[in-house]
Amino acid sequence: MGDRYANFANSGVGRGVVKRLGLPDPPRLRRYRPGDPLTPGPVLLGGTAGRLAGPVGKLLEAAGVPVVETAEEGARLGALVFDATGITGSAGLRALYDYFHPVARSLVPSGRVIVLGTPPAAAANPREATAQRALEGLTRSIGKEFGRGITSQLVYVAPGGEEAVESTLRFLLSGRSAYVSGQVVEIGAGRAPAPADWDRPLAGKTALVTGAARGIGAAIARVLARDGADVIALDVPAAGDALAGVANDVRGRAVQLDLTAPDAPTRLAGHLSGLDILVHNAGITRDKTIARMDESRWDSVLDVNLSSQERINDLLLERGIIKAGGRLIGVASIAGIAGNRGQTNYATSKAGVIGLVRSMAPVLAGQGITINAVAPGFIETAMTARMPMFLREAGRRMNSMSQGGLPVDVAETISWFASPGSATVTGNVVRVCGQSLLGA
């Protein structure tokens, strides 16, 4: 089918259509391989009287990243990191222009833009909150403007969270975040332990991944194992062979279980003595307009994607199986954010996953457990390969990376949430969508 698009795009009519729709050639994205340097060039660290430039400069240097404070004409930079926490009113936003304007063309392909701010709710007054909220317009616009695989993010750091930003900065600077752009991440107050080895941050941790037999779930199992975790791969009995293959690859354990069975939480608990990381990746679609949808399509999607997740969380938490410092990670979807035609059931379940993250985060904070979710956009899987050609190409191209993401991109984001260094990252829903144009 890719050939059909290529043939169309290179035909006389097709070339005109592709050009008119503004579909550029997709850049090759920098993706992480263990041992890679964190950035493909020096970091230009800027900011005016903020509370983060100091700690960030120190951690970057300790991580062996070259940091510069000014850029020569023609410099080739790996990342632009700007500490905006010193901006206390809208007039102060001019500092952003002064910083970005002269260096906007200096980033290498797959370079990074990171703006650090104060969560508006934690600002001292409305003027400061307004200016801090305004940063979102800048970082999202830069993400759409810079191209060439460059990503742009806004990272809000709560006052008192200055010493716990390393895990997030490493993720966002590295090739791990290749397909994450235009996002707003919030880091809370408090400290986070640094892993002994940043290339194996999950060493000694036990992770359970549901829906692990194929696609995104299999990629999650592989990335968590690569990052040091002992992985338990779970899927339905019907996917037993594929599941065994994944478990074998990651030298982990396979568990066959139908999560919607009434006794599933109890049976699952029986397989576990303690768990550090729980990734609720299992999910299904049963698309129909609500007028044509039979009740089993509604019930099954809601139960697999949302209710079973709630039942399992609650039982494992109640029995103390999720350890202190544990990580609960859900998989939402752009459909859960924006809604989608033919997906009332799926979008409702995925919006529920967002609600689960937001409502459980404060409840779990007392136990040192975090809860977050990824919201994938167009990810290249067997499922998307079956979409009609034009829909598929639109999904692939309508984002700042001009291409679909890979299952590994979702997995890398989950591994960042799972890291011990992300102890103060909770309640976040981060899209892995290449900054898709679609949203709400």
Q: Which stretch binds a second copy (CB under 8 A): 79-87, 200-208, 336-344, 372-380?
A: 336-344
- How open is the CA angle 53-164-313, to the nearest 5 degrees? 145
Q: Which is closer to a second copy, CB of 244 or CB of 354?
A: 354
Residue 347 interacts with a second copy (CB under 8 A)? yes
DSSP 33: -
Identify whether the C-beta of residue 283 lies closer than 8 Å to the C-beta of residue 331: yes
The interface with a second copy within residues 188-227 (CB under 8 A) comprises none
Residue 338 interacts with a second copy (CB under 8 A)? yes
Identify whether the C-beta of residue 334 lies closer than 8 Å to the C-beta of residue 353: no
Residue 74 interacts with a second copy (CB under 8 A)? no
- Give the span between the Cα atoms of 143 and 338, in whole angstroms: 20
Residue 298 makes CB contacts below 8 A (sequence gap 6+) with 344, 345
Residue 11 interacts with a second copy (CB under 8 A)? no
Q: Which is closer to a second copy, CB of 43 or CB of 356?
A: 356
Residue 290 interacts with a second copy (CB under 8 A)? yes
Q: Which is closer to a second copy, CB of 59 or CB of 103?
A: 103
- CB of 277: closest distance to a second copy in angstroms? 20
Q: Choose among 293, 277, 288, 283: nearest CA to 260.
A: 283
Which of 262, 291, 366, 382 contacts a second copy by CB under 8 A? 291
Q: Which stretch binds a second copy (CB under 8 A): 38-46, 54-62, 98-106, 378-386?
A: 98-106
Residue 350 interacts with a second copy (CB under 8 A)? yes
Residue 359 interacts with a second copy (CB under 8 A)? yes
- Give the span between the Cα atoms of 54 and 304, in whole angstroms: 46
Q: Choose among 208, 169, 410: nearest CA to 328.
A: 208
Residue 348 interacts with a second copy (CB under 8 A)? yes
The interface with a second copy within residues 173-192 (CB under 8 A) comprises 182
Q: Record the tokens describing residue 353, joined without a space.
A: 């996953």
Which of 100, 171, 179, 378 contacts a second copy by CB under 8 A? 100
Q: Record the tokens describing residue 24, joined without a space.
A: 């550029």
- Give the span between the Cα atoms of 366 and 369, in whole angstroms: 7
- Give the span between the Cα atoms of 170 and 157, in whole angstroms: 15
Q: Which is closer to a second copy, CB of 420 or CB of 434?
A: 434
Query: Cα dihedral angle (197, 199, 201, 205), rounded to 10 degrees?
Result: -110
The interface with a second copy within residues 373-432 (CB under 8 A) comprises 390, 394
156 is catalytic: no
- CB of 347: closest distance to a second copy in angstroms? 3
Which of 30, 112, 140, 280 contacts a second copy by CB under 8 A? 140
Identify whether the C-beta of residue 144 lies closer than 8 Å to the C-beta of residue 31: no
Could you list the active site residues? 346
